[in-house]
Amino acid sequence: MTYLESSYFLDFESKIIQNLISEFKNENLTPNQKAIGIYTKVRDGYKYDPYHISLLENNYRSSVIAKKQTGNCVDKSILLISCLRALNIPARLHLGKVKNHIAVDRLIEKFGSNELTPHGMVDVYLNNTWLKMSPAFNASLCERFKVAPLEFNGKTSSYLQAYNNDGNLFMEYTQDYGFFEDVPLDFMKQNLKTHYPHIFDTKDNITEFKI
């Protein structure tokens, strides 16, 4: 497995993905520069929204996600992986469980917990090393919650904002589900139904949830 292949979900041959990466298809740019550029573009070009979750297979295609203005952590990770593979940079989806400690009132109200799962991030292969990066939180959102946006330098992993600017605990990873070659939709559906049965353990014909 090279983690460069396209798939039903990672459909980077699509016109919209090719347009998204067009500025980085430059032979003068190094893989690091390309990865940094497209990471920042996905992070800030799509506002983070954890309250709209779909169980419909088609909505996890990168070409569909790219048409939106917002996305949750999994959406944005899928989009970034597709873009990286389109730039011939190996990338794969990494999932886990996180606990938020700031602005949790709405999370608890809606989800019944300040834990979010599955939380998506990206493994990217640069300079013979797998690195983690998380494009979930756009810079404007980080500013509002007084936390530094995650910057990626192409040399070290950048996926955890443990504390905000005031030194208060912001986020922690509580469980690692590992990495996946493609989008594990069945696993994600079961994960949601197990952790939030009051929301997702419903009839199979209900696929869209605006929480």
Q: What is the pLDDT of residues 193-202, one digit of tens each?
A: 999 999 998 8
The per-residue pLDDT for 106 is 83
Which residues are bridge partners to 123 per DSSP?
92, 132
Domains of the chain, start order: 15-210 (3.10.620)
Which distant-in-sequence residues (6+ apart) come within 8 Å of 180 by Cβ? Answer: 92, 93, 94, 95, 187
- Summarised one tens digit per residue, pLDDT across range 22-35 is 999 999 999 999 99
Q: What letter represents residue 4's amino acid?
A: L
Q: Is the dihedral of CA 98, 198, 105, 71 positive or negative?
A: positive
Alpha-carbon Rg for the chain in angstroms: 17
Position of tokens 């493994």? Answer: 123
**Mean pLDDT of the region 37-55:** 96
> Which is more confidently placed, 15 or 100?
15
How does pLDDT run across 57-116, given as a tens digit for each residue?
Answer: 999 999 999 999 999 999 999 999 999 999 999 999 999 999 988 767 888 888 899 899
Dump pLDDT digits (tens) for 104-159.
788 888 889 989 999 999 999 999 999 999 999 999 999 998 999 999 999 999 99
For residue 32, report the phi and psi dihedrals to the nearest 5 degrees: -60, -45
pLDDT of residue 103: 67
